[in-house]
Structure 1
Amino acid sequence: MIRMKLCLILICTAWLHTEAKSRHRVIGVTLCSDTDGEVMYGSNGDEMYHVDFSTGKGVFTLPPFSDPLSYPRAYERSVVGMDICKDRLKSYTGGHSKPEPRDAPQSSIYSEDDAELDSKNTLICHITGFYPPHVEVTWTRNNVNVTDGVSLSRYYPNDDGTFSLFSHLSLIPKLGDVYSCSVEHTALDRPLPRTWEVDVELPGVGASVFCGVGLAGGLLGVAVGTFFLIKGNNCN
Structure 2
Amino acid sequence: MFLTCLHFINKHDYPLNTILYLSCLIYNFLHRDISLILCSETDREQIYGLDGEEMWHADFRLEKGVMTLPQFADPYSYVEGTYEGAVSNIETCKSNLAILFIVVVGLSDHLPVYNDPHVSVYSKDDVVLGYKNTLICYISGFYPAHVGVSWTRNNVNVTDEASLSRYYVNDDGSFNLVSALSFTPEEGDIYTLPLWRHGALERPYDQNMGDVQAELPDAGVGASVFCGVGLAAGLLGVAVGTFFLVKGNNCN
DSSP 3-state at the match of 1:198? strand
Counterpart AA for 1:48: M
Does the Cα contact within 8 Å between 2:25 and 2:33 map onto a contact in 1?
yes
Shift of the 12–54 alpha-carbon distance from structure 1 to 2, 3 Å rule, reads farther
**Offset of residue 89 of structure 1:** 11
**Number of residue pairs the alignment of both structures matches:** 194
Separation in structure 2 between the aligned mates of residue 158 and residue 28 of structure 1, nearest angstrom:
10
Two-structure CA RMSD over aligned residues (Å)? 3.8
1:10 alignment counterpart:
24
What is the percent sequence identity of the aligned residues? 41
Equivalent residue in structure 2 for 1:162, among 167, 174, 178: 174
Larger Rg: 1
**Offset of residue 30 of structure 1:** 3.6
Question: Structure 1 stretches of 5 or more lacking a match?
Answer: 16-23, 210-236
Greater helix proportion = 1
1:195 alignment counterpart:
243
Greater strand proportion = 2
Whether 2:126 is the aligned partner of 1:114: answer yes
**Offset of residue 13 of structure 1:** 5.4
**1:112-153: CA deviations, max 9, x gaps?**
111011111000112223222122211111111114531000
2:117 alignment counterpart:
105
Question: Structure 2 stretches of 5 or more lacking a match?
Answer: 9-20, 206-239
Whether 2:35 is the aligned partner of 1:29: answer yes
TM-score (norm 1): 0.64
2:153 alignment counterpart:
141
Whether 2:135 is the aligned partner of 1:123: answer yes
Matches within 5 A, 1:77-116: 77-81=85-89, 96-98=103-105, 100=111, 101-116=113-128
1:62 alignment counterpart:
69
1:48 alignment counterpart:
55
Deviates more, 1:68-77 or 1:37-46: 37-46
Separation in structure 1 between the aligned mates of residue 61 and residue 55 of structure 2, nearest angstrom:
19
Separation in structure 2 between the aligned mates of residue 64 and residue 198 of structure 1, nearest angstrom:
39
Counterpart AA for 2:57: H
